[in-house]
Structure 1
Amino acid sequence: MDAAPAYAPMSLADLGAHLAGASDDDHRWRLLAEFLEEFRWAPPGERLHLLSAAPPSTQDRRWDVLLAALAEHLAAREGRAAPAWADGKILEQFWFPFNTDAARVDAFVHAPAAFRSRGVFLAARELEVA
């Protein structure tokens, strides 16, 4: 009998590949939540490795920039700089993924710096996994 492969947490590159194949934004947000949960449970010494490889294009510039912002944000929480592949990824027009009046105000006030500086306005609480 073949042994089951060892578990490996999803990397940001894996997430990018999954996002490219996602059918809609609801599916993309579920995939992002799964990545964040796996990142949270990864041993601290392995977390930066999950961010190191550049993700493939998601076929949506907004999501590509969101991944760069996420890599910078998570690396900063680990006391490190963003991976080099994330440099220069910025939207020319602001994006509010949750586009209601209340969500826009919340995101404008509470978006982490890595997201704001790239034009992605997402409240920090949207990155929390239950």
Structure 2
Amino acid sequence: MTGFTAAGAALLARQMLSEDDPLLSVWRYCLIQLLDDYNGEASRVGSLQASHRFDPEPAPTGSAEVDAGLAALAEHLARRDGWPTPQWARKPGRYTNKWWFVTPLRGMHATALQQSPPSFRTRGVFITADALSRV
């Protein structure tokens, strides 16, 4: 397996956050890269094999928003592609009480409230429909 695992994405996120990188950068360089790596592997060898990227539980990143985002991504992909959601994704520390609107554009927040997939919305992470769309 090449590319990110959820645990690897969490490690990079922790490093980026310690260097005061903004959450939007963490989203792009950690969560979206994990999504890209998962989708690429799923297209080559199938989603069940690619789901192993989420097997080792990611360590806490120091950001409730990012920890919730990783869990939301794992659950979303599991539901979409038909593999079991990792148990770590349902742990209490994988939700945020402070809502995270991934887009910095305030005008898009209402759209994100409406369009966020359930796995994200229930964890307090709000994204627009195209946030997970990859070219």
TM-score (norm 2): 0.82
Q: Distance in 2 between matches of 1:93 and 1:33?
A: 21
Q: Distance in 2 between matches of 1:27 and 1:115?
A: 18
1:37 corresponds to which residue?
36
Bigger helix fraction: 2
1:14 corresponds to which residue?
8
1:4 corresponds to which residue?
none
Q: Distance in 2 between matches of 1:97 and 1:41?
A: 23
Q: Distance in 2 between matches of 1:94 and 1:105?
A: 13
Determine what percentage of the aligned residue pairs are the same residue.
27
- The amino acid that maps onto 2:106 is D
2:134 corresponds to which residue?
129
When the two chains are superposed, the root-mean-square deviation of aligned CA atoms in Å is 1.7
Q: Distance in 1 between matches of 2:50 and 2:107?
A: 33
The partner residue of 2:25 within 27, 48, 66 is: 27
Deviation of residue 39 (structure 1)? 0.8
Q: Distance in 2 between matches of 1:129 and 1:60?
A: 25
Question: 1:76-109: per-residue Cα shift (whole Å, max 9, x none)?
Answer: 1111332100113222232212232322012111
Greater shift, 117-126 or 105-114, is seen at 117-126
Q: Distance in 2 between matches of 1:103 and 1:75?
A: 27
Deviation of residue 110 (structure 1)? 0.5
- What is the SS of the residue equivalent to 1:59? coil
2:80 corresponds to which residue?
77
5+ residue gaps, structure 2, are none
TM-score (norm 1): 0.85
| Pairs aligned (count) | 124
Deviation of residue 53 (structure 1)? 1.3
Deviation of residue 67 (structure 1)? 0.6
